[in-house]
Amino acid sequence: MRVGIVCPYSLDHPGGVQSHVRDLAEELMLAGHDISVLAPADDDAPVPAYVVPAGRAVPVPYNGSIARLNFGLLSNTRVRRWLREGEFDVLHVHEPMAPGLGLLACWAADGPIVGTFHSAMIRSRAMAAAYSILQPALEKLSARIAVSEQARRTLVEHLGGDAILIPNGVMVRRFTGAEPLPGWPGQGGALGFVGRFEEPRKGFGVLLEAFTMLAPDRPGLRLLVVGRGDADEALAGLDPALRERVTMLGMVPDHEKARMLRSVDVYVAPNTGGESFGIILTEAMAAGTPVLASDIDAFTRVLEDGKAGVLFHNQDPAALATEAGRMLDDPPYRLGLAEAASATVKQYDWATVAADVAAVYETVAGPATRVSEDRRSRFGRFGL
């Protein structure tokens, strides 16, 4: 099957949606599908061969973050040309509500369109005002997918309708065989963090407060951080003695991120809100690293109410420090958590997730394609 996938965000900047689109495309190609991805990128940007650049992205505030989107007359021209030349059996648009390529593609496309909704956000006047603009495009969707219950709820509350739940995927094999970085985690223990630490909702400040509570009684404890931002600014308020125990790796490729996750005793996700799923949790779980996360709804669901990881009260550094200390002091406890997580994360393996997405494609593409009866029954109540 020939499938066109639209990613609204620039692939030059890491993010959950970008990773989802890339991994889905590669898994579908392994299964024999012909895939083309349209995404914001400069014409000379180093992107995979299956990606068609749609032009330079513009930073726009969106859903509590800065999204790098692409829109305008040039973008519209490139979208229409890509659709015309692609002759896709199915068009798959990610984040159809985001202003940019997804909306342009929905307006311009004919034939079956699948939309995947990633974001979780509270109801807002801005979204209500935008409904009349979004409605014509969304009415063209043949099927809707939500990556989490939070994303599905956002869709229902803002735009009506429903969606089938197909979660974010994780390349389990990428993380299980990764080797730790030299010298990590060390005898004193190590905590890990991945994310845009300059964004308050990622909770890095909460983690730093907890680290200052833990570190004095744990002279060997270290913190390993991967992510985009100004490291000097992020650590400016930290005692110099503690600052030496924080290693900031900056942005790293996926294989190095896998190694980083294998290099810590506990992965900490202190995010304060605005998360629909939490793909980094499943990546840490796949790496065999115990997870300690804030008890926001998305993380609570991924960690199965604390069965596959430990939850602490959101935005409470003292609670984070208490749980992290308990995990660091009890290796058998961490091992049990890692084993439970390893069993849980199998449901998110891309081999399974991509097969479910492909089944949606086959269902909306028409009777010429075949879908297994078990998957067809899953989609029946959504009219697919």
Residue 122, helix vs strand vs coil: coil
Provide the β-strand partners of residue 312. Answer: 294
Set out the domains of the chain in order of their start, with CATH numbers: 2-169+349-382 (3.40.50.2000), 172-347 (3.40.50.2000)
Residue 330: per-residue pLDDT: 97
Q: Which sign does the torsion angle of CA 371, 374, 380, 382 carry?
A: negative
Q: Give kind and range of the element (H or E) at residue 265.
A: none
Task: Find the distance separating the first CA and the last CA of the chain, reported in whole Å.
Answer: 18
Alpha carbons within 13 angstroms on the beta-carbon side of residue 135 total 8
Phi, psi of 54 (to 5 degrees): -110, 10
Cis peptide before 185 (omega within 30 of 0): yes
Classify strands 90-94 and 2-6 as parallel, antiparallel or unpaired: parallel
Give backbone dihedrals phi and psi of 32, rounded to 5 degrees, phi first: 100, 5
pLDDT tens, position by position, for the chain (384 residues)? Answer: 999 999 988 887 777 888 899 999 999 999 999 999 999 887 777 889 999 988 777 666 655 565 666 676 778 899 999 999 999 999 999 998 788 898 899 989 999 999 999 987 655 555 555 666 777 778 899 999 999 888 898 888 777 778 999 999 999 999 998 999 999 999 999 999 999 999 999 999 999 999 999 999 999 999 999 998 999 999 998 999 999 999 999 999 889 999 999 999 999 999 999 888 889 999 999 999 999 999 999 999 999 999 999 999 999 999 999 999 999 999 999 999 999 999 999 999 999 999 999 999 999 997 554 445 555 455 544 445
